[in-house]
Amino acid sequence: MKAITADPSKRLDIYARKDCSFDKEFTIVNSSDQSEFDLTGYTFVLYVFDSFLKAPKLTITESNGITITDNVIGISIDKSLLDFKKEDNFYFLEATIDGKKYVWLNGNFTVNHGLFDGVQETEQIEINLAADEITIEISMPGGSGSDEHFLGKYVSLAALETAHATGEDGDFAIVDPGAGTDALQYIWDAEEGWVASGAPSAPDTFDADFVVTVGTGQSFGQFANGETVPAEGLTAVEVLLLMAGGYNDPAFTSFLITGQSTMVEVGTTISGSKTFTWAITENSGDVNVITIYDVTAVANLLVDTANDGSQAVTVTSNQLNANGSTQVFRGILKDANNANNQLPSSNFTITSRFYRFFGPASSAPTNSAEVRALASSSFQTSNSEVFTLNTGDDETIFAVALPPGRTISSVIDLDASNTNVTADYTLTVINVQDAGGTNRSYNVYICTNAIPYSSNHRHQITTA
């Protein structure tokens, strides 16, 4: 099941009438084909709270008002629970699936004695399954023009008042001045006339953190009963997102050394100045500095360097003298938003391997220089490997030099009806210098033909 991400820019305001029961349905469909969305396994909770968000003033669950039938979510609230003073409250509809919580809807929850009573028209929510993440699209009221209380769209409040000096309970209209200005929904209030719903204003922020106080077995998003919500300085929407998602640690997305291969020949010395580069996704964190750490030497190379993505550092000299030897580096970030919590990058590992040398030759190699001068070379990374020697059509001698301990198990001529020519390769031992100048006992195999091939032959070589 993919995560469902609520788009904060899309909200749905809900209206109820004071001292009257509230009933509303949401039809959930797949936006790609309008088919019914499968709600199996989902549970829902509706939270309603005032603008100060001290604690939910109303919690509706499947035990006291939420029903799920096929692809329809029904919400029923008894009138005794709507004895609010006339004000705009805030709500969110929380969905839970596979133990994870998501905010599906949020917006104003307006209790107004001028609104109509009874069952409100069904809203349709479209779930987009084609995207990388499931997203929610809300079909807003009046979009189809089928609501009898929708009085149309106007360029100004004055134009609306000219067209409809008075209204009936439940009437609403859209005022949209055009490009550059947000559209507003106006509802008819028997006492105040046309009243803007959800007009933009500077959001209030919390003066302090608060402790969650809810019923037994309930939670406030990710926060359990009795836990403290770190709300100070946050807006209501930011607290909602915090409740839904929790704290996400920052993380390295890359940690590299510019121009440095991760595989080198045995005998190579890792030394000198190296330019380290990295990238970090901060998520909920704040990363100002990182440390570059030599895992092999168990030592810091550079402590608390600026998180600017690149830094040249002189590394501790280390010669990799054995097959499979490694030199390992990593980055360590500090999260200023989480008590300087330190989190590592993936390791950047340099591994040493022996080369194998092979190819046609004008004469059989007898020393290190002649072996290393063969036309082809590649790393021998495991005991059993398969590679191809191309003979060409000029030479009669073909040589294969394998690192210490490695031998030929078979040679197949792919261009001579897959003839097994293993016996044509004879073994001798030659000291071949590695990258550091140390002699290594290589097993050198020589095949000699009487005359060159008339065209290139591919000798498929398997080692052991």
Taking residue 199's Cβ as centre, other Cβ atoms within 10 Å add up to 10
Residues 308-317 have pLDDT tens digits of 999 999 999 9
Q: How remote is the C-alpha of 427 from its chain's centroid?
A: 54
Contacts of 63 (CB under 8 A, 6+ apart): none
Measured in degrees and rounded to the nearest 5, phi and psi for residue 51 equal: -65, -15
pLDDT at 114: 47
pLDDT at 22: 81
Query: For the chain, which residues score pLDDT lower than 70?
Result: 1-11, 18-19, 31-32, 51-55, 84-88, 112-150, 180, 182, 198-203, 245-246
Q: What is the pTM of this model?
A: 0.53
CB 271 within 8 A of CB 317: yes
Measured in degrees and rounded to the nearest 5, phi and psi for residue 240 equal: -60, -45
pLDDT at 48: 83
Q: How far apart are CA 242 and CA 34, in angstroms?
A: 32
CB 105 within 8 A of CB 126: no
